[in-house]
Amino acid sequence: MIAFRSTVAALVLAALFLIPAVGHAQCSALLDHELRPLAGKTPESLCRHQGKVLLLVNVASKCGFTPQYEGLEAMHDRLAPRGFAVLGFPSNDFLGQEPGSEEQIQDFCKLTYGVTFPMYEKVRVKGDDATPLYRQLREATGEKPGWNFHKYLLNRRGEVVASFGSRTRPDDPALLARIEALLAEPVPAEPSPAAH
| 96 Cβ contact partners less than 8 Å away, ≥ 6 residues apart | none
How does DSSP classify residue 86?
E
Alpha-carbon distance of 58 to 56, in angstroms, equals: 7
Alpha-carbon distance of 78 to 71, in angstroms, equals: 10
How does DSSP classify residue 187?
P
- Distance from the Cα of residue 86 to its chain's centroid: 7
Phi, psi torsion values for 35, nearest 5 degrees = -135, 150
Instruction: With CA atoms as reference, report the closest residue to 188 among 35, 27, 74, 55.
Output: 27
Which entry of 27, 47, 63, 109 is annotated as an active-site residue? 63
Q: Helix, strand, or coil here: 38?
A: coil
Cβ–Cβ under 8 Å, residues 109 and 115: yes
63 given a catalytic annotation: yes
Alpha-carbon distance of 66 to 109, in angstroms, equals: 10
Question: Tell me, what amino acid is at 121?
Answer: E
Could you list the active site residues? Answer: 63
